[in-house]
Amino acid sequence: MAFLQEIVVLGLLVLCMTAAVSSHSRHSRYTPPNVMRLTDAFSHVSIGQEYSTFFGGSNTKLLNNGSSANLALDKSSGSGLASRNKYYYGFFSAAIKLPSGLSPGVVVAFYLSNADNYPHNHDEIDIELLGHDMRNDWVLQTNVYANGSTGTGREEKFYLWFDPTEQHHHYSIIWNSHHIVFLVDNVPVREFAHSSSYPSVYPSKPMSLYATIWDGSQWATHGGKYPVNYKYAPFVVSFAEMEMTGCIFNQTALVTSCSKANPSSLDPVDGPEFVRLSNEQSVAMDWARRKLMFYSYCNDRSRFKAMPPECK
């Protein structure tokens, strides 16, 4: 009997260890498809020249002559950068290395927004990286707001296929008159199409680009179950290889137009290669959504009693 009990206990220990390893090494289970490296097609910008401090200046440190920056979250404050220009469509990307260790409640965001100019009907396109507890990896949350409050958001959540704390990985956004595409290491994970059938849900006003780290204890980890534990602070995120290519909004111009008579194929605003995903990109996005997506607002009947029109 004692021998059988030992076998049972040993079996349970093995199962627990396997579950722990599998939960922390989810990223090792998948190899992404090969895709075109859009991040190699555009030039990097100087963070020191193209961004200004948004908040938490004492927790912001420019490095390598302004080509990269460390942003920190501690008990006193988070920190953030904002682009000096506003954009009306374009390609936006950053290589990000996330804080290591336990980070529940920590939110790292790379996003476009015009909430400063349109507080009651703002647009926003979000890449948010949500910190983890002992049982879960970092989570990628994408979101789109148009002409409304945060209650109009359209979230989708994904696991990553790599450890985002070990080295920099690219997180990118395509935004033009055709669609919004979210990409991770150049792999599209989500496409949000622009349709004349539901124009009000598509971001259409000029936006600034932001890079931030902040305390999302109230909602970020399991609905706020696990707040930030400042025993592990400071939480430091590294931003590098920032790219901003597109239509810069000119506030003095009567009409905003960046259309070109003969745009190159790699023009993210008007280029034909940015009108729709290539076959290669579509296959890669299907892979990411089948393997890694675990939440979509389209399937959330508790929040949307009627299916949003773009989901049908």
pLDDT in tens, 223-252: 778 899 999 999 999 999 999 999 998 876
pLDDT of residue 73: 98
- Is residue 20 one of the residues assigned to a domain? no
- Is residue 258 one of the residues assigned to a domain? yes
pLDDT of residue 7: 43
- Is residue 305 one of the residues assigned to a domain? no
- Indicate the average pLDDT of the chain: 88
pLDDT of residue 151: 65
**Does 86 score more than 60 pLDDT?**
yes
Q: How far apart are alpha carbons 308 and 192 in whole angstroms?
A: 12
- Is residue 22 one of the residues assigned to a domain? no
Map residue 85 onto helix, strand or coil: coil
Query: What pTM does this model have?
Result: 0.89
Largest CA distance in the chain: 86
**Does 18 score more than 70 pLDDT?**
no
CA angle 78, 79, 83 (to 5 degrees): 150
Q: How far apart are alpha carbons 232 and 74 in whole angstroms?
A: 9
- Is residue 167 one of the residues assigned to a domain? yes
pLDDT single digits (tens) 176-229: 999 999 999 999 999 999 998 888 899 989 999 999 999 998 887 777 788 999
List Cβ neighbours of 8 (8 Å cut-off, separation of 6 or more): none
- 18 against 103, higher pLDDT: 103
The one catalytic residue in 6, 50, 128, 166 is 128
Over residues 134-138, mean pLDDT = 77
Query: What is the number of domains present in the chain?
Result: 1
**Does 261 score more than 80 pLDDT?**
no
128 is catalytic: yes
Domain of 73, CATH number, reads 2.60.120.200
pLDDT of residue 17: 40
Q: Which domain holds residue 128?
A: 41-299
**Does 163 score more than 60 pLDDT?**
yes
- Is residue 78 one of the residues assigned to a domain? yes
The one catalytic residue in 50, 124, 156, 191 is 124
- Is residue 213 one of the residues assigned to a domain? yes
pLDDT of residue 28: 55
- Is residue 12 one of the residues assigned to a domain? no
